[in-house]
Amino acid sequence: MKKLILSLMIGVPMILSAQKKFSIIPSGGYAWRVAEKPSGLSQAEKDYLNKLSQGFNFDVAAYYNLNTSIGLGLKFNLFSSSAQMNYTVNMPDGTYAVVMMDTKDQITFIGPSFIYSNFNSETKHKLYYDLALGMISYKSTTGNVVIEGSNLGLAASIAYQYAIHPNIFVGPQFGYTAGTLKEMKLNGNTMELPEGQYEGLGRVSLSLAGTFRF
């Protein structure tokens, strides 16, 4: 009986440890788009584009661990921003009217992902790097005007985390998402973008990420 109890005491933790095949990593933070802005803009237009180029970043990935350091899974992230700008319109009667332009932007990415980590090591200091290839999509809404587009994209992140529990890690994450649109739809109508005026969707992000293993 004592041997049985001892075997259970040793074996059960090993079995539970071996069953930790899944990792879910959500994160939230701030991001900055890095595409070059057009030249010859007014100060109001520059401020408007600067506001649109930074915003909230949400990211979540789920992985199945193939071995002690490598996993495969799915990654999704979302960037959202908004900006307002007042501009002057010439009216037919020769007068002027001030109109407020309110724009909301969203960039989403989803695709299969690869992760390399030291999650199974004894240390409480955890590191991981992940890389995903998939579809990146852009949507910009200003009043009744909707601009949309999608293309092949890339998303990658690197993070340091501290183990606050054997199966829960928390820490900062640096991310990079890339993609370029050569054509978009304006209210459903496709338009080709001239070379040099492609819509760059690249951005960098700084977030707080948590890892949950089971």
Q: What is the pLDDT of residues 146-181, one digit of tens each?
A: 999 999 999 999 999 999 999 999 999 999 999 999
Residue 151 within a domain:
yes
Q: State the pTM of this model.
A: 0.85
CATH of the domain at 108: 2.40.160.20
Residue 12 within a domain:
no
Separation between Cα atoms, residue 105 and residue 148, nearest integer Å: 10
CB 11: neighbour CB atoms within 10 A? 10
Whether pLDDT at 27 is above 90: yes
Residue 3 within a domain:
no
Q: What is the pLDDT of residues 73-120, one digit of tens each?
A: 999 999 999 999 887 777 777 787 777 889 999 999 999 999 999 999
Residue 7 within a domain:
no
Q: Which pLDDT does position 195 carry in this prediction?
A: 87
Residue 8 within a domain:
no
Residue 5 within a domain:
no
Domain count of the fold of the chain: 1
Q: Which domain holds residue 177?
A: 20-213
What percent of the chain is modeled with pLDDT above 90? 75
Confidence of residue 18 (pLDDT cuts 50, 70, 90): low
Q: Which pLDDT does position 7 carry in this prediction?
A: 47
pLDDT mean over 124-136:
98
Task: Give SS3 for 82.
Answer: strand
Query: Cβ(150)–Cβ(184) under 8 Å?
Result: no
